[in-house]
Structure 1
């Protein structure tokens, strides 16, 4: 069954949750900045304490008509003490708690001539109030420190990820430099009329491998662009026919060399999209290459396109190893692979770097579409679907 990602009616990934994460992340960064300043600046720290207690006291007076004059007159002090502990640290929170207890005692608890000026139940309430405030301060301070450690770890991970992307980009550029001369050299050798059949077969293998390496290098470069959000598209109204034909020309020989058959259903070639032809060829090429890689010799890889529910679905079906249910989403994450990736592949090929399918999903989403996988389980083949919006009627 298909497991597409959540989307709105137009097929776009929702943006509300990332926006909320950004808002709360910004508030967290602001609170962290205030906390660090307060921990190093005593004047700011105690100013926050006095402001917090003053706010709680003012709110309590403002609500004096709605809250009881005695018993539990502490409602407005809890949030301000928690805020003081969060923004200024444990010592500031405990100081705010002590001042709040004194304020509650002198302003909002009726005095009597026993138990040091308070009735027994009021003493119990006051002690309970103080204990809860201390507990809140300790918990809030511990939570802040845990979140701060998590933020620091996340910052280190982002920095490491940035260095990794930069390193991969440098490696990809260095690997790409010799590929063009190799391609040219193979083409020159193939024009020699005196080549033996064995030499021509060897050159055909070399040509396929050079093309495969070129695709891997381009995927490496695009992985960095995806991570930085810098992949560019040049979209225009177009039909799928040229894309499907390009797939046939690019992969017929590659699959034939592995003893596989590529079937391209041209019935969907007349469907129109607004897209970047080169990027759509890249996305579908990654799907075909992936299907071939995980299919045995003699397998068929079928590409078809059809209109479904007012949108275009391009399907790449293979008869290979299939996917476990937990891998249907995982394989589209950058640098992730399915659980089958460690097993030997056709022609001894490697499972790759976990880049190709992530690029497929990114290209689909940039076109306002989606990408997902379907499989009935391991050993039963898989179908990868690229969904695109139809071009508006002229």
Structure 2
């Protein structure tokens, strides 16, 4: 258990490991209370025998615990009975005396019990805080270790690929056949390139890859590897994201196209230009690599080419469900074109379809906060809308966020869902209490604020926001009107309630059980699904 600074209240009772001293202090407090009562006796009217003894009992219980507090209560009761209940300096027990002593005993018992329960609650709070701190430390260490292991694995994989490439390059030196040597050289180059791409594509956060940044970096790397510093390049790509599993074949095809432009179109020249364009069309993605070199030989046909690189590019394009072709550019040079179609909007392929994984990746999702925020009974509700970058109409998904509002993980989740062909709306659930665009931090203050707001905001206000968000999403120009709900943590509960709306045809709700529930239900996530209605 990690050591944390203990607050004073959480350290009570004091002297718990030296009980004899604690009982001695309780006796001293009782005697002091009796002395004070004797000293002010002439100032008090008759009928207040226990006036100074109650504070002694409470202080003893509060500082020293239930045992010393009970001892102080017993001793104070005896002293009050002997010195201040008539007839004084005796233990005469009459009806009035019995009633007074019973009243004193009841009040003292209640005081001691309340103090004891408060201390028990403080102990549990301290243990929970220490447990959470320990878990946070362990989680942080585990995350650091996982990241180190992941990066080490990536480093080893990349090094192994480069080692294989180096071995092939060495093997090439002992081969006299020019064709075989060229084949080994091409294979070594491609393996080395895969290693470099692999370093860029994967990280521990699982983030999606920004297309424009990746294409800029890849183009610069391939041209640098070509060894001709006189070649200039330009890259044009829309902002968006793509999954690593799809980017690998796309990157290999693009690298092959650039390498062909350097080795064939610009061979023998100290200068030249290569342009890379990624464009969205109504049917899919189109990646073009254009050079200003010598162009294609007469009668060139990609399908009839014996080049290993072109065969690999064509095969990879076919696996993506698309096509790859090399054609003459205008006015000079050659152009390599990779075309990847989208799956039909809102019509995901069956789960057992062999191309399902490939088809979903190329779709690029973009998301921006909606300027025409959705009105709700609680005021204007800013809503972030994510949709496929290709213009069209898609089924709508109302995604409810966690208590921290629209964080980066929520935005990535929304982009992921939108990338499957949906128009995703993410409302800011605390719009009545926070300024538009507010994102609570993942720390103690942010967590406390989010938890406080989720109970401060009435349930009917959440329900009214859901109705308003569904209305706005259904009327969005990128939505077909078919609606579903989805949510995580707090959003899981809100998505479940919103799914009771008859317009909602499907729901996916992810919730975390409370600590009490978790002791009985061994689950960390509950998922509720309803299939699309026809």
TM-score normalized by structure 1? 0.46
Structure with higher RCO (Cα < 8 A, 6+ apart): 1
Q: Which has the higher strand share?
A: 2
TM-score, normalised on structure 2?
0.36
The structure where helix makes up a greater share of residues is 1
Larger Rg: 2
